[in-house]
Amino acid sequence: MERVRVRYAPSPTGHLHIGGARTALFNYLFAKHHGGDFIFRLEDTDVARNIEGGEASQLKNLEWLGIIPDESPLKPVEKYAPYRQMERLDIYKKYIDILLEKGYAYKCFCTPEELEEEHERQVASGVAPMYNRKCANLTAQQVKANEDAGMPYTIRVRVPENKVYEFEDMIRSKVSFESKDIGDWVIQKANGIPTYNFAVVIDDHTMEITHVFRGEEHLSNTPKQIMIFEMLGWEAPKYGHMTLIVNENRKKLSKRDETIMQFVSQYKEEGYLPDAMFNFMALLGWSPEGEQEIFTKDELIAAFDENRLSKSPSMFDKEKLIWVNNRYIKERSLGEVVALCQPFLEEAYDLSDKSQEWIEMLVSVYHDQLSYGKEIVKLTSLFFNDDLQLDDEAREFMQDESIPNTLDVFSNQIAAIEDFNRENVQAAIKATQKEAKVKGKMLFMPLRIATTGIMHGPDLASSIVLIGKEKVLDRLK
């Protein structure tokens, strides 16, 4: 097989979206599985929609996920460069000229107003709107006269009649389109810049792209692209159109959807781990054989098989992401989890009177249950809140007549501790059990409610140490 070369070709019109990241990820996995190249190319011809820093932001977020391009505008290979479409205009011009010369394309002088009117007329009379070919057969003299008069023009491709464009999609099998449903479409806009469907063909050919995995919204673009490949006598890459990502209501994940964070940077900001995201996204529309769900990047590369890309929409399951991320956090060392959590704690709380040791202990108490970094703020709030508000259930529990004595005994035990650490607090709890003659729930619950204000929480002895001797004694009183 020839060397596999695939590409991710975003427009720098926004930051890295979950859908784009998944496209990049599957292309990357496919390339690496076959020992090939993953190329990052920029489709920046829609100049008005480009945003400042769009390219850098895309690259930075991909890198965070561990999707590192072999080639990009910052890592060019001379043979294929440049990697930004706006720097390739002279390459496109060369091929536009060939199409014009061969009569596969023509200049169209229709004004936007004329086109709009024609469009409305067609819609009103119930026919599918399509360019009426008014300029398809202008004579060379007419064209020259229009140009001399300074009339702006677009360039349209002359779509062949009665042709069927058929291709074997790597995900959907046979797909076909009839040329009669495709109007003569614009390959170069009036401003001289080529359109996506044209430029992408020139890029895919000149960059020797062998396979294209992209979203299903591009399916109807494919016959247009194949048409240009044929006109230029080139072989098209193999295409695979991935199904949609949907939300929990089975609605297409759109940028306006507020039920799901849409951008990769948001997950980074909330303290998700990049390798967990990589793992989770690889299962968005692809599944390996068997039941395993946690995979390292290398395992995913080894297992990736395009025949197992899903033919039905894949649901973005937030609970599953949280589960996957928690699994990765559990595997991290305490030091790493502290590094992940500390910035969130610093932002939310005043830590000026806390030692690093205290912060480490605080995080360690939640290490196993933590779903994502920022969650630490919510989980630990009880350690930063001095105002204990017992709920009805806790209040009711504390009415039991054995409780004052239990708290008294425990209070004395605590007061006697010199080195206030977990071991000694644990011993104080044990001693209270013996002396007050209470055990199980009647031992732990009063101590927990009196010291933390809640009935269920993290390890009791650690919680007590974190609250601190003085405050614990205060609360017991």
Distance in Å, CB of 9 to ligand GLU, minimum: 4
In this structure, the strands spanning 186-188 and 154-157 are antiparallel
Distance CA 341, CA 359 (A): 9
Asked whether 293 and 323 are in contact (CB, 8 A), the reply is no
- Binding-site ranges for ligand GLU (CB under 6 A): 9-11, 43, 200, 214, 218
Closest CA to 414 of 427, 430, 428: 428
Report in angstroms how near the CB of residue 28 gets to ligand GLU at its nearest.
Answer: 14
Is the CB of 11 or the CB of 411 nearer to ligand GLU?
A: 11
CB closer to ligand GLU, 37 vs 43: 43
Q: Which residues contact 18 (CB under 8 A, 6 or more apart)?
A: 245, 253, 260, 262, 263, 264, 281, 284, 316
* Residues classed as catalytic: 255
Helix (H, G, I), strand (E, B) or coil at 205: helix
Q: Token match 């690496």: residue?
A: 32
Q: Does residue 82 have a cis peptide bond before it, meaning omega lies within 30 degrees of 0? A: yes
Tokens for 137, please give them: 């057969």
Q: How far is the CB of 200 from ligand GLU (least distance, A)?
A: 5
> By C-beta, is 62 or 200 nearer to ligand GLU?
200
Q: 39 or 445, CB closer to ligand GLU?
A: 39
Q: How far is the CB of 317 from ligand GLU (least distance, A)?
A: 24
Q: How far is the CB of 203 from ligand GLU (least distance, A)?
A: 9
Angle between helices 274-282 and 18-33 (to 10 degrees): 80
User: Closer to ligand GLU at the Cβ: 43 or 184?
Assistant: 43
